[in-house]
Amino acid sequence: MQQGSERVTENSAIDRQDAGIAAPRNSDRDADGKATRVHLLDFRSAPMRAFHLSWFAFFLCFVAWFGIAPLMAVVRDDLHLTKAQIGNTIIASVAITILARLLAGWMCDRYGPRRTYAALLILGALPVMFIGFSHSYHSFLFFRLAIGMIGASFVITQHHTSIMFAPRVVGTANAMTAGWGNLGGGVTQWFMPILFGFFLGLGADRFLSWRLAMVVPGALMLLTGFLYYRCTEDTPDGQPFSPRIGGKAFWEAAADYRIWVLFLIYAACFGVEITVDNVAALYFKDSFQLTLKTAGLLASLIGMMNIFARALGGILGDWVGNRSGLQGRCLLLGLVVLLEGLALTLFSRLTSLVPATAAFLVFGLFVCMACGVSYAVVPLVRPRAIGSASGIVGAGGNVGALLAGFLFKSENLSSANAFFYLGISVAVSAFFVLLLRFQEAESPSLSFSNAGVLGAQSAD
């Protein structure tokens, strides 16, 4: 394929650029008003306001979603939970997100991302703050199930950035907002134990302190929900949102087999990542006899890598895609997922802390990159049904986490062996990218330079 010879026929912006039609209102916008660069210091334009608020909202949702994970050793003692019961709560925390992500995708297409995100943040804050009222396994299970709905924040984040940024940089923008949001999964691993210790220092006992700690991320989500509604717009040019009424967008995405292949691939990367977020602290504590704070710090390493690793995946996805089209992006995705699976398999076999931590970091790099490359592909497969496509593929991540959760629930399977089988499954799933096929007209290949994607100065 020759560079610049391919077009995404469903995207009018690309068609007009390739046809040489007049430049948009400024050099940083395309003919549809979408941003063609990511100006990190711009907080005024509609695309960049959506960029910054969406990643911050997603960050808070991740802190809240997995905030209880580094405190589970205390919760286990407080509520007298068995390994099977802990496994059930992990499954519950990701199971409801499957439906929530599908619904969020439809709502974005129907009501727009601004209202959808504000509603999710405000309603989702309630179970986060109220989980402290749990005094039995069943009530704790209920609140973890309810908290799981805020995992739909990912879909809205990806939808909002997808409609704000042009195809040449959409992978980069999606990867950065999702990566910085996923960073919350790492931050929460050390932030929540610190918050727990803060309340201990104020005189609360350990069983009260974990309950008080969960109020903080819930309150921040509530405030951010109102801020999101007031400070973002649904479209890059300020025009009113044009909804797609009914289920047309959803069924358009659902009828495309490639969306379901990406569903499976995303189960193998994001699904595995959030499973590790849920179990890593306990694994390090029990397997290497570490303190709660040290185990939480090590468990946070993968989440912390999202500050650059997921963005790196998106940038590489755009770089390869603008030279080799969608097929090239998909082959890159398969390679990164394969390396992710091999690294996780190696981690499961190591019994010494230092080499295990090193393997854990390598796994973290590739799992975050795989997530980034995934959403350098998804928005370009069905551009007219971005919300529904993002919702279906995003739900795949939670299906993967749900299935992986059963491995860690089993009383007869050690956590190390659970990681081993999970790693093998991930490596095998990488080869499913070979099933993806694209027409030449579907593979965008626009002129692109990495220097032109990111900008530090503010837009006019």
Residues 254-267 have pLDDT tens digits of 899 999 999 999 99
pLDDT band per the 50, 70, 90 thresholds, residue 449: very low
Number of neighbours of residue 209 by Cβ within 10 angstroms:
20
Give dist(CA 62, CA 109) in Å, integer. 23
438: left (phi over 0), alpha (psi -120 to 50) or beta: beta
pLDDT confidence of residue 332: 95
> What's residue 141's pLDDT?
94
pLDDT at 289: 87
Q: Give 13's pLDDT tier (boundaries 50, 70, 90).
A: very low
* Mean pLDDT across 307-322: 88
Out of 4-13, 211-220, 252-261, 377-386, the most confident range is 211-220
Residue 246's pLDDT is what?
Answer: 55
> Taking residues 92-99, what's their average pLDDT?
86
On the question of pLDDT at 252 being above 70, the answer is yes
The pLDDT assigned to 16 comes to 37
pLDDT interval class at 3 (50, 70, 90): very low
Kindly give, in sequence order, each residue whose CB lies less than 8 Å from that of residue 105, ignoring residues fewer than 6 positions away.
Answer: 155, 159, 250, 253, 387, 388, 389, 390, 391, 392, 394
**What is the mean pLDDT of the segment spanning 122-137?**
94
- The whole-number average pLDDT for the span 97-121 is 91
Task: For residues 8-36, give the mean pLDDT.
Answer: 52
Residue whose C-alpha is closest to residue 106's, from 230, 246, 226: 246
pLDDT of residue 20: 34
**20 or 114, greater pLDDT:** 114
pLDDT value of residue 358? 95
Tokens of 409: 């629930």
pLDDT bracket for residue 52 (50, 70, 90): very high
Q: How confident is the model at residue 457 (pLDDT cuts 50, 70, 90)?
A: very low
Place of tokens 């405190």: 71
How many CA atoms lie within 13 Å of 430's alpha carbon, on the beta-carbon side? 23
Query: Rounded to whole angstroms, what are the CA distances from 25 to 14, 237, 390?
Result: 16, 10, 29
The pLDDT value given to residue 29: 76
pLDDT per residue as tens digits for the range 185-234:
888 888 999 999 999 999 999 999 999 999 999 999 999 999 999 999 99
- Percent of the chain at pLDDT exceeding 70: 88
Contacts of 148 (CB under 8 A, 6+ apart): 65, 92, 93, 94, 95, 96, 97, 100
Q: Which helix (H) or strand (E) segment is 28 a member of?
A: none
Q: Which of 62-76, 179-193, 350-364, 422-436 has the lowest mean pLDDT?
A: 179-193
Q: What is the mean pLDDT of the chain?
A: 84
User: At residue 90, does pLDDT exceed 90?
Assistant: no
For residue range 265-296, list pLDDT tens digits in order.
999 998 999 888 878 888 998 899 888 778 88
Average pLDDT over residues 6-25: 38
Residue 337: pLDDT band (50, 70, 90) is very high
Cα angle, residue 56 at apex, residues 51 and 58 outer, rounded to 5°: 95
Residue 438 has a pLDDT of 77
Q: Which fold has domain 39-236+245-446?
A: Growth Hormone; Chain: A; (1.20.1250)
Question: What pLDDT score was predicted for residue 244?
Answer: 63
Percent with pLDDT over 90 in the chain: 45
pLDDT level of residue 450 (50, 70, 90 thresholds):
very low
Closest of 254, 241, 260, 246 to residue 116, by C-alpha: 241
* Residue 21: pLDDT over 50: no
| Confidence (pLDDT) at 375 | 84
Alpha helices by DSSP H, 66-205:
72-79, 83-111, 113-130, 137-147, 153-164, 167-201
* pLDDT at 442 > cutoff 60: no
DSSP state, 457?
S
- In the structure, what pLDDT confidence band is assigned to residue 338 with cuts at 50, 70 and 90? very high
Give me the residue spans of the domains in the chain: 39-236+245-446
For the residues 23-31, what does the mean pLDDT come to? 59
Distance between CA atoms of residues 152 and 156, nearest Å: 7
Using CA atoms, how far apart are residues 361 and 357, in angstroms rounded to an integer? 6
pLDDT, residue 459, reads 34
| Mean pLDDT score, 112-140 | 94
pLDDT score of 14 more than 80: no
